[in-house]
Amino acid sequence: MYAAERQRMIVALAHEHDRVSVAELADRFGVTTETIRRDLELLDERGILQRIHGGALPRATGIFAPELGLVEREGHNIPQKTAIARRALEYLPAANGSMILDAGTTTGQLAALLSDNGPLPTVITNSVAIAALLSGRDAAAVLMLGGRVRGLTQSVVGARAAEALSRMRVDVAFVGANGMSTQHGFSTPDLDEASVKQAMVSIARRVVALVDSSKIGTESLHCFAKLSDVDVLITDDGITDRVRAEFIEQGVEVVVA
């Protein structure tokens, strides 16, 4: 059994039984206790399990965690999201270019930072909030995707939005994610949201993911991009050296805001 497969089973057992012990896991998988300790330390570092003496507990993250709405998420990790958005300004295309702003709180921070002094790239978005914010700025040309509005995230989702994107080609896509791991890539809980995000990634010459470090190690149900699909990850200094090295090894440029 590969280590990644064993670790996925350990996470499932932790959620099923509310805790796991080193001795029981070593016996179950036929490996040494030292191997299990390394597994648990890695899962703790990635924020998936909480290491305790003799074992580990499940964290309230991952595919088992409830999805938070836009309003709830707006109050989380504000300094980190603001710092990430500021660094993202360095990756804006030229004024005659085009970019996607995915629905989300960190991309919303980026939208708020866009200057009104001079022309901006054409902005395509599926975010009701971002479209409303930028529509009042003379310097911004905003294209709002059509489709069903998902109330929880105030984002436009569905086949119409994905089809419209498939007919486009943009310079840069700024996307967010609910989860991010080396095994599962970039993920989100809702299938319709994942489909739109996947379409965004597929039409961009450069993909820039804006994800704070609290999402690292979290795996939501639907993967919308592999690590190799993303060119740049902008995150905060909560990312560990080990995880950063893993992303770089997969060809992702990691920028710490």
- What's the CATH code of the domain at 7? 1.10.10.10
Residue 140: give the domain boundaries: 70-256
**Is 65 part of a structural domain of the chain?**
no
Same domain, 9 and 93: no
What is the percentage of the chain residues whose pLDDT exceeds 70? 91
Whether the CB-CB separation of 112 and 133 falls below 8 Å is answered with yes
The pLDDT value given to residue 59: 72
Give the end of a domain, one of 59, 79, 95: 59
> What does the pLDDT read at residue 74?
55
Which pLDDT does position 163 carry in this prediction?
Answer: 96
Mean pLDDT across 199-211: 98
Residues 221 and 123 in one domain: yes
Residue 52 is assigned to a structural domain of this protein:
yes
Shared domain for 38 and 145, answered yes or no, is: no
Residue 32 burial (10 A CB sphere; 0-12, 13-18, 19+):
exposed
pLDDT-above-90 percentage for the chain: 60
- Residue 218: which CATH number? 3.40.50.1360
- Tell me, yes or no, whether 64 lies in a domain: no
**How confident is the model over 67-81, as a mean pLDDT?**
64
Average pLDDT taken over every residue of the chain: 88
What element of type H or E holds 50?
A: strand 49-52
Residue 54 · residue 86 · CB < 8 Å: no
pLDDT tens digit sequence for 142-169: 999 999 999 888 899 999 999 999 999 9
Q: Same structural domain for residues 92 and 27?
A: no
Residue 122 and residue 233 in one domain: yes
User: How far does CA 176 lie from the centroid of its chain?
Assistant: 5
Cα distances (angstroms) measured from residue 91 to each of 29, 97, 184, 187, 207: 46, 12, 25, 22, 10
Mark whether 94 and 175 lie in a shared domain: yes
Q: What's the one-letter identity of residue 124? A: I
- pTM of the entire structure? 0.74
Looking at residue 18, what is its pLDDT? 79
Burial class (CB in 10 A: 0-12, 13-18, 19+), 82: middle
Residues 104 and 170 in one domain: yes
Whether the per-residue pLDDT at 68 is higher than 60: the answer is: no
Q: How many domains does the chain have?
A: 2
